[in-house]
């Protein structure tokens, strides 16, 4: 009788991503950039996807400087044609797709009574519909191979209503990402494709740092920190371990999970 503990790979090797092909949308900055570095440092080949090609190319250059195999590509995740082209390019270049991070997203603070239908549609198109379209295209490569890891970027805003800013469309879109993740996980698990999501709390990206310079947002940030038990915002590096874990063999029996990384914000 085999002993699963003794027969398993040593623990550090289970987190390695050597010979794995990954794509990350929204990887030209912020959280997506941090994910790209984390996967590359763990041995993955990384396709850096962003609407801003120059930003994607800059990140790909950072990765290749670390010795990683990486390339940049522009894609609009609201375009089915761009998504299909993105997935096909990765599969053609490296012979398959093992890991996909659907991270691209946008935000909007708006009082609901003032929100236009176009604003609502834009948030839902980018944050939810595009995640489905990406998952669908990625699964069409992964399912025939019998293995794959899809990780969607949700938010703690998908589980709670944040204060004090009003962001009904964003909250709704991220709640949709969480339930979409669970639905796809249940559907595709028998065929070897795991689908999970990461829900960050308030994270100090360059975009957030720029926003906080305004007095109004500085007041918001004071509320965010006061409601966070750990007393600080996340750094993008606080999310990297989860990215590697969900991409690796260490999480092979995990699917349909929403991994919240919020410094305890949602505990109250």
Alpha-carbon separation of residue 205 from 16, 202, 228 (angstroms)? 26, 9, 17
pLDDT at 207 > cutoff 90: no
Backbone angles phi, psi at 87, to 5 degrees: -65, -40
What's residue 268's pLDDT?
A: 84
Q: What is the mean pLDDT of residues 21-38?
A: 98
Q: What is the pLDDT of residues 120-173, one digit of tens each?
A: 999 999 999 999 999 999 999 999 999 999 999 999 999 999 889 999 999 999
Tokens 């987190």 belong to residue: 15
Give tens-digit pLDDT for 78-123: 999 999 999 999 999 999 999 999 999 999 999 999 999 999 999 9
Q: List pLDDT tens digits, range 41-57.
A: 999 999 999 999 999 99
Total residues found in the chain within this entry: 268
Q: Express each pLDDT in 213-268 by its tens digit.
A: 888 888 889 999 999 999 999 999 999 999 999 999 999 999 999 999 999 999 98
Q: Are 252 and 194 in contact (CB under 8 A)?
A: yes
* 3-class secondary-structure state, position 211: helix
Reported pTM: 0.96
The mean per-residue pLDDT over the stretch 67-80 comes to 98
Q: What is the pLDDT of residue 92?
A: 97
Q: Provide CB contacts within 8 A for 2, sequence distance 6+.
A: none
- The predicted pLDDT at position 211 comes to 80
Look up the CATH number of domain 11-202+236-258: 3.40.50.720
Active-site annotation holds for 202: no
What is the model's pLDDT at position 206?
Answer: 85
Q: State yes or no: pLDDT of 198 exceeds 90.
A: yes
Beta strands in the chain (DSSP E): 21-24, 45-50, 70-74, 99-102, 148-153, 193-200, 258-261
In contact, 32 and 103? CB cutoff 8 Å: yes
**Contact between residue 83 and residue 75 where contact means Cβ atoms under 8 Å apart:** yes
**Rounded Cα–Cα distance for residues 125 and 103 (Å):** 14
Q: Of the residues 147, 170, 202, 265, which is catalytic? A: 170
């Amino acid at each position: 009788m085999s002993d699963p503990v003794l027969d398993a790979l040593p623990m550090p090797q289970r987190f390695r991503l050597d010979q794995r092909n990954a794509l990350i949308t929204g990887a030209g900055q912020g959280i997506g950039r941090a994910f790209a570095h984390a996967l590359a440092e763990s041995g993955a080949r990384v396709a850096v996807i962003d609407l801003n090609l120059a930003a994607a190319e800059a990140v790909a250059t950072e990765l290749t400087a670390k010795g990683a195999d990486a390339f940049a590509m522009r894609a609009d995740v609201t375009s089915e044609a761009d998504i299909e082209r993105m997935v096909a390019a990765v599969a053609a270049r490296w012979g398959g797709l093992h890991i996909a991070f659907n991270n691209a997203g946008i935000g909007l603070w708006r009082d609901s009574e003032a929100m236009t239908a176009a604003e609502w549609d834009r948030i839902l198109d980018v944050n939810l519909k595009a995640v489905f379209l990406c998952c669908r295209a990625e699964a069409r490569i992964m399912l025939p191979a019998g293995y794959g890891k899809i990780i969607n970027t949700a938010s703690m805003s998908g589980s709670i209503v944040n204060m004090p800013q009003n962001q009904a469309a964003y909250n709704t879109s991220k709640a949709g990402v969480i339930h979409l993740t669970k639905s796809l996980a249940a559907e595709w698990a028998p065929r070897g494709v795991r689908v999970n999501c990461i829900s960050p709390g308030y994270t100090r990206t360059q975009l957030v740092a720029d926003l906080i310079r305004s007095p109004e947002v500085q007041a918001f940030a004071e509320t965010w920190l006061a409601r966070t038990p750990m007393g600080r915002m996340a750094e993008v590096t606080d999310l990297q371990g989860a990215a590697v874990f969900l991409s690796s063999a260490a999480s092979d029996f995990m699917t349909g999970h929403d991994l919240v990384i919020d410094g305890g914000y949602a505990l109250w």
